[in-house]
């Protein structure tokens, strides 16, 4: 009885995302951006840029400062050192269908290439309609990613309301959600899980570690992310990615996202 | 500031006897680590906790020596530590009862060992894990082995439990954690002291703050720097909230396992709100970026008064639901008598954190070796339970949630009255430093070795590593359906254990 009353008093706690933007989601520091297309001044080249970033996510490309979100661990060192150039992005919608799409301010792939990827993925996930089953595999995470993935089932995010469910068996799974830097010992189990899934299947790399290995790579025991073991369809950066970023990535993967959010 | 540890040199042949004698005199065995030296020799250090201090007993194995008399026959909790040393350095502890691979399952003929302390090795390409002969300890008719993992049902960290069973009763269980071994300790060698804290935050992601504090404490001890009181208080606020989050996670998983979906929803709702509050205070849901060597990065992002109000609301909501949950017989029945660690077993192993405190051990780094804000605030550990079952562990966690909120509020109160710098500069580091804190999982130790400001060896001993070795002991007479509760009530991090 006490449970019931407290629950009623609480009212609806579930987010309206993706139908409506969520206040918390839009105030969250989810990624780092370059303020404007910045041409490196003479004192801001090569070694200076690399000293700003412990994971070498900042580089100079065709005369401009570029951040690779697939390497960024959101430590904020660059934002602190050069607030004139770098800033935290207050939006969790940072997933991309292409590794090159994680480079800001300008993605590395052309619009045609992105459109082709999106169309290809749309064809592939057509059969899933509104029932998507997710299998999670940890390939060497630090444990925080699992908390954020599990948070998707709490009453705030309530993944089930969108027709998305976690499943135990890879045989029932449509989407493989992988966390972690890709440890040598997890490559085998990860491949086995992927191969056990029926077609069509989608792979989502959750977190900077899964995309590039983040700060824990290079290391004798890891493979710089999971990309060399399974083909990644959707990249969700973050260290760890927030539940909203994960939700955005999953919806992007299965084509349930309004087009505005697709990069 | 933690006082420098006392170091005693012994001959490798005398290491086991010396440590065993110290343990019989009442010291607690707290770890055994090796470090490769540039000249080809290897240092082996044993850590002993007693009389409010951590002491080091160390021995040098000459170049090519490769073996020493094992500690494990005399000091059983050393077993996993010696398996780790065998995996990472190829050193043979003579007389060790079972040197199965623990962290590395690779073809040792194809690779040299990682040997943290010297230059890192090339990536592993040749894995060797013999699955045809799953280790079995118990023999008998009708007995079979379930390899449970590394990919398990639900959202879990990867680990394999090898369960030997007659069908329902669990006869024996062992864990294989090498799936998640990331070679973190070798990776520290590539980073400077300032970047090292970012890696420390990622060793055990659910205890980021605790790891960052322990790592920085080791540097600060080494550099002879006392953290400014304001910084110590901010650290304590974040560390205590991290403890609450971790304990809520354990409780929620117990509730989920028992099919208490309302309780699960409520507890995960509180946890989400707590994570959001943590992000409000520092910009990160796991408190990353707060702790820096010499202090903290800066002030809290909201005023202490605002934070106090938010904490009170959350504390009351959690308290109400905790009382309801502890009043639900169908739930408590699943935990009572499940996964018992008797006080004798706990004491022999030196069980850490809530696991130890639920089995009669009154120990907590915050009171044994007070550090940072706990010197200012004072801390008395909660009275320990002694039934040692999953229920006792959950009761201890609820109690610790209350004290954690209390400490966080006290720290916030103090904070509004203090002034001064947020961090101090560390000098160029040289030598060996220890840092220890009470993480949500229990005592966490960092040993940092530096030469001319460069990190040559960082060793972390998470409570998850030490307690996971105790995990099989909890399965005396329990059945497969009890597994969830035993695992959830231990509340360990595989990432922290596998390194």
ipTM of this complex: 0.94
User: What is the predicted pLDDT for the residue at A112?
Assistant: 84
b/e for B67-101, b at 16 or more Cβ within 10 A? ebbbbbbbbebbbbbbbbbbbbbebbbeebeebeb
Q: pLDDT band at residue B122, thresholds of 50, 70 and 90?
A: confident
Nearest CA in chain A to B272: A151
- Cβ of B120 within 8 Å of Cβ of A6? The answer is no
Q: Shortest CA distance to B185 belongs to which of B83, B114, B241?
A: B114
- Cβ of A154 within 8 Å of Cβ of B268? The answer is yes
- Cβ of A147 within 8 Å of Cβ of B106? The answer is no
Count, in order, helices (H) and strands (E) of chain B.
17, 14
- Considering only the C-alpha atoms of chain A, give the largest distance between any 2 of them, rounded to a whole number of Å: 69
**Region B112-120: what's the mean pLDDT?**
84
pLDDT in tens, B182-231: 999 999 988 999 999 999 999 999 999 999 999 999 999 999 999 999 99
List, in sequence order, every residue forming a beta bridge with B489; answer none if it has no partner: none
Q: Is the pLDDT of residue A33 over 50?
A: yes
User: What is the predicted pLDDT for the residue at B149?
Assistant: 83
Q: Is the pLDDT of residue A261 over 70?
A: no
- Cβ of B269 within 8 Å of Cβ of A156? The answer is yes
- Cβ of B121 within 8 Å of Cβ of A220? The answer is yes
Q: How many other C-beta atoms are found inside a 10 Å radius of the C-beta of residue A43?
A: 6
User: What is the predicted pLDDT for the residue at B246?
Assistant: 98
Contact A18, A247 (CB under 8 A): yes
A56 inside 8 A of chain B by CB: no
Cα distances from B88 to residues A126, A159, A261, B270, B441, in angstroms, run 48, 42, 46, 41, 24
- Under 8 Å CB-to-CB from B323, ≥6 apart: which residues? none
Q: How many other C-beta atoms are found inside a 10 Å radius of the C-beta of residue A37?
A: 11
Sign of the alpha-carbon dihedral angle for A47, A49, A50, A52: positive
Q: pLDDT band at residue A7, thresholds of 50, 70 and 90?
A: confident
**Region A183-208: what's the mean pLDDT?**
95
Q: Is the pLDDT of residue A263 over 50?
A: no
* Range with the poorest average pLDDT among A71-75, A255-259, B280-284: A255-259
Q: Is the pLDDT of residue B265 over 80?
A: yes
List, in sequence order, every residue forming a beta bridge with A88; answer none if it has no partner: A32
Q: pLDDT band at residue A260, thresholds of 50, 70 and 90?
A: very low
**Region B430-454: what's the mean pLDDT?**
95
Write down the mean pLDDT value for chain B. Answer: 92
A12 inside 8 A of chain B by CB: no
pLDDT in tens, B349-392: 999 999 999 999 988 999 999 999 999 998 988 777 889 999 99
A28 inside 8 A of chain B by CB: yes
* Range with the poorest average pLDDT among A76-90, A162-176, B265-279, B480-494: A76-90
Cα distances from A156 to residues A11, B112, B185, in angstroms, run 12, 49, 37
Q: Which chain B residues touch A154 with a CB distance below 8 Å?
A: 265, 268-269, 271-272
Sign of the alpha-carbon dihedral angle for B145, B151, B155, B159: positive
User: What is the predicted pLDDT for the residue at B1?
Assistant: 46
Choose the mutation target among B118, B131, B179 for the interface with A, i.e. most A CBs under 10 Å. Answer: B179
Cα distances from B95 to residues A98, B72, B79, B138, B334, in angstroms, run 54, 8, 11, 21, 41
Lookup: tokens for A230:
């399974």
Q: Is the pLDDT of residue B110 over 80?
A: no
pLDDT in tens, B287-335: 999 999 999 999 999 999 999 999 999 999 999 999 999 999 999 999 9
pLDDT in tens, B44-55: 999 999 877 899
Nearest CA in chain A to B290: A75
- From the CA of A176, how many Å to the nearest CA of chain B? 12
A216 inside 8 A of chain B by CB: yes
Burial class of residue B54, CB neighbours in 10 A (0-12, 13-18, 19+): buried
Distance, in Å, from the CA atom of B208 to the CA atom of B85, rounded to the nearest integer, reads 25
- Under 8 Å CB-to-CB from B207, ≥6 apart: which residues? B242, B246, B439, B440, B441, B444, B462, B493, B496
**Region A125-145: what's the mean pLDDT?**
91
User: What is the predicted pLDDT for the residue at A43?
Assistant: 66
- Cβ of B158 within 8 Å of Cβ of A138? The answer is yes
pLDDT in tens, A210-243: 999 999 999 999 989 999 999 999 999 999 999 9
The H-or-E segment that residue B172 falls in is: strand B170-176
Contact B457, B221 (CB under 8 A): no
User: What is the predicted pLDDT for the residue at B284?
Assistant: 94
User: What is the predicted pLDDT for the residue at A22?
Assistant: 86
pLDDT in tens, B129-160: 655 446 566 777 888 888 898 999 889 999 99
Distance, in Å, from the CA atom of B370 to the CA atom of B389, rounded to the nearest integer, reads 28
Write down the mean pLDDT value for chain A. Answer: 88
Distance, in Å, from the CA atom of B243 to the CA atom of B441, rounded to the nearest integer, reads 8
**Region B470-484: what's the mean pLDDT?**
89
């Amino acid at each position: 009885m006490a449970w019931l009353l407290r629950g009623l008093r609480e009212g609806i706690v579930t987010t309206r995302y993706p139908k409506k933007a969520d206040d918390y989601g839009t105030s969250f520091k989810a990624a780092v951006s370059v303020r404007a297309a910045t041409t490196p001044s003479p004192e801001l080249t090569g070694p200076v840029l690399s000293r700003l970033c412990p994971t070498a996510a900042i580089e100079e490309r065709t005369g401009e400062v570029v951040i690779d979100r697939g390497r960024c661990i959101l430590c904020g060192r660059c934002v602190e050192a050069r607030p004139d150039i770098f800033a935290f992005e207050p939006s969790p919608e940072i997933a991309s269908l292409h590794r090159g799409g994680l480079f800001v301010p300008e993605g590395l792939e052309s619009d045609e290439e992105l459109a082709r990827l999106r169309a290809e993925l749309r064809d592939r996930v057509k059969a899933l309609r509104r029932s998507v089953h997710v299998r999670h595999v940890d390939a060497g995470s630090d444990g925080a990613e699992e908390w954020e993935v599990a948070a998707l089932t709490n009453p705030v995010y309530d993944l089930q309301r969108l027709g998305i469910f976690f499943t135990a068996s890879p045989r029932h799974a449509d989407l493989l959600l992988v966390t972690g830097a890709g440890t040598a010992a997890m490559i085998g189990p990860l491949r086995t899980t992927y191969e056990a899934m029926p077609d069509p299947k989608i792979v989502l790399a959750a977190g900077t570690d899964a995309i590039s290995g983040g700060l824990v790579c290079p290391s004798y025991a890891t493979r710089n992310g999971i990309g060399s073991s399974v083909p990644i369809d959707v990249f969700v950066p973050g260290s760890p990615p927030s539940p909203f970023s994960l939700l955005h990535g999953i919806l992007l993967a299965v084509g349930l996202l309004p087009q505005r959010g697709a990069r | 500031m933690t006082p420098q540890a006392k170091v005693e040199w012994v001959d490798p042949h005398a290491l086991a006897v010396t440590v065993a004698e110290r343990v019989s005199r009442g010291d607690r065995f707290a770890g055994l680590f090796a470090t490769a030296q540039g000249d080809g020799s290897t240092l082996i250090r044993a850590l002993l906790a007693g009389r409010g201090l951590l002491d080091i007993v160390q021995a040098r194995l000459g170049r090519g020596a490769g073996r020493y008399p094992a500690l494990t026959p005399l000091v059983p909790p050393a077993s996993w530590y010696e398996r780790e040393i065998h995996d990472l350095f190829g050193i043979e502890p003579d007389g060790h009862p079972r040197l199965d691979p623990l962290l590395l399952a690779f073809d040792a003929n194809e690779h040299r060992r990682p040997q943290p302390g010297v230059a890192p090795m090339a990536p592993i390409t040749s894995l060797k894990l013999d699955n045809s002969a799953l280790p079995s300890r118990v023999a008998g008719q009708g007995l079979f082995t379930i390899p449970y993992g590394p990919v398990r049902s639900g959202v879990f960290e990867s680990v394999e439990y090898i369960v030997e069973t007659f069908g329902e009763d669990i006869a024996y269980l062992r864990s294989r954690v090498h799936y998640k071994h990331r070679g973190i300790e070798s990776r520290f060698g590539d980073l400077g002291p300032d970047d090292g804290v970012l890696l420390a935050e990622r060793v055990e992601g659910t205890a980021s703050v605790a790891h960052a504090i322990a790592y920085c404490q080791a540097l600060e001890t080494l550099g002879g720097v006392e953290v400014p009181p304001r910084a110590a208080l901010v650290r304590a606020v974040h560390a205590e909230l991290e403890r609450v989050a971790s304990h809520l996670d354990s409780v929620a998983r117990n509730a989920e396992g028992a099919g208490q979906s309302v309780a699960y929803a409520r507890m995960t709702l509180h946890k989400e709100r707590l994570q959001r509050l943590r992000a409000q205070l520092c910009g990160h849901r796991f408190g990353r970026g707060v702790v820096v060597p010499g202090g903290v990065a800066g002030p809290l992002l909201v005023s202490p008064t605002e934070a106090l109000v938010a904490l009170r609301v959350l504390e009351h909501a959690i308290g109400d639901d905790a009382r309801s949950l502890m009043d639900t017989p169908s739930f408590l029945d699943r935990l009572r008598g499940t996964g018992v660690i008797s006080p004798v077993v706990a004491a022999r192993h030196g069980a850490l954190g809530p696991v130890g405190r639920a089995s009669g051990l009154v120990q907590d780094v915050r009171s044994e070796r007070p550090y940072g804000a706990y010197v200012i605030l004072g801390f008395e550990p909660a009275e320990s339970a002694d039934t040692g079952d999953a229920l006792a562990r959950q009761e201890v966690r609820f109690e610790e949630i209350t004290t954690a909120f209390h400490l966080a509020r006290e720290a916030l109160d103090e904070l509004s009255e203090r002034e001064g710098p947020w961090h101090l500069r560390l000098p160029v580091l040289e030598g060996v430093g220890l840092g220890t804190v009470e993480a949500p999982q229990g005592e966490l130790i960092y040993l940092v070795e530096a030469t001319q400001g460069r990190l040559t060896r960082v060793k972390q001993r998470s409570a998850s590593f030490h307690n996971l070795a105790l995990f099989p002991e909890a399965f005396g007479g329990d059945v497969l359906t009890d597994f969830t509760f035993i695992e959830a009530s231990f509340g360990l991090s595989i990432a922290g254990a596998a390194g």
